[in-house]
Amino acid sequence: MKVKKFDCHHCGAPKVDSYTNPYIVCDYCGYMIDVDYAAGLQVWNHSEEHTNAYMQFKQNFTVNSAKYLKEMNKEAYWLEHYNFWNYYYTHFPEYLPPSIPKGEKYELFIKSAADMAADTMNYSDTKKSDAYNNAYKSLEYYQKNGKSYVTYESFLKMIKAYMEFLEQGFRIVYDNPNYEIMNEIFPEKFQLKMKLSQIAQTWIPYLEENFIDQFLTLYQLKQEYVEIEEPLRQQVVCEDCKKELTVPAGALVCICEHCRHQNILKKTTHCHDCGCENELPKNWANMITCIACGTQLRVVQPLFG
């Protein structure tokens, strides 16, 4: 079968199942692999009315948060950000990382987002944000065949400034032990890829086709297709919501597509040399050493092409 090429850095397996949200999760070990810009764009473009409702909400949020920031009203600023992120992930559930199930962890994630915003109210270094705002205001437009386009050079300058601005914000968050939860549920490299995908899906309509391809290739937002063997599949029932799920044979972990519960399907693997059953370590990687004969074992068996 033909699939987009995504290989898990944790267990080595390829992505074999279909997906609807932009986060690519390994079908064998449950680890997040990558972010698919094209899937995110499909979500964004699915309904113009739905997206416009979000844009209106965001516009009000921007006005209100600017007002509270000017007033240095930390409580109102925090609440505005809490309500915004809660609305965002309710409105676009596909954009919520699969590592965040419903319930307590989701609430902690939204509160952390609001906390981070409030904690940076007094951040004095605005060079990066000023550079991004200036690059945004300096975007150059032109008309061609009745359509408005942005020049590729000015667009790349804006993206570069945006990436540097994000990097500054990420250091405030990911280097702060108070937000350790973010490293667990939304690692920096995935949030960076998602942020880049989101700004790309907004601006891609303003680029000509040849520039779109250049940009997606430059920032590794473009995927190739490969042929792999169709894996054997099996049915399992989610431990939490009790709904039936289809998983590839040999899968160790399955994140439920309905409730996001992480189902542990296997806790051991057998040595292909001596047959000894090995319990998986807590933080296992692609290969482990057999406790009986010392053979290096691939945890996820090569049941795929």
Segment 128-150, tens digit of pLDDT = 989 999 999 999 999 999 999 99
pLDDT for position 302: 53
Q: Please give the pLDDT value at position 182.
A: 85
Tens digit of each residue's pLDDT (9 = 90 or more) over 23-50: 999 999 898 888 898 888 899 988 999 9
**Per-residue pLDDT, 176:** 87
Q: Over the chain, what is the mean pLDDT?
A: 89
Provide the residue ranges of all domains of the chain, joining segments of one domain with +: 123-226
* Nearest CA-CA partner of 64 in 87, 83, 92: 83
Count how many Cα atoms sit within 13 Å of the Cα of residue 13 in the half-sphere of its side chain.
Answer: 29
Give the whole-angstrom CA distance, residue 74 versus residue 68: 7
pLDDT at 161: 96
Distance from C-alpha of 148 to C-alpha of 125, rounded to nearest angstrom: 35
- Report which of 285, 246, 283 is spatially closest to residue 265, judged by C-alpha positions: 246
For tokens 């952390």, the residue is 112
pLDDT for position 305: 43
Q: Which residues of the chain have pLDDT under 50?
A: 303, 305
How much is the pLDDT for 241?
93
Lookup: tokens for 156: 């790349």
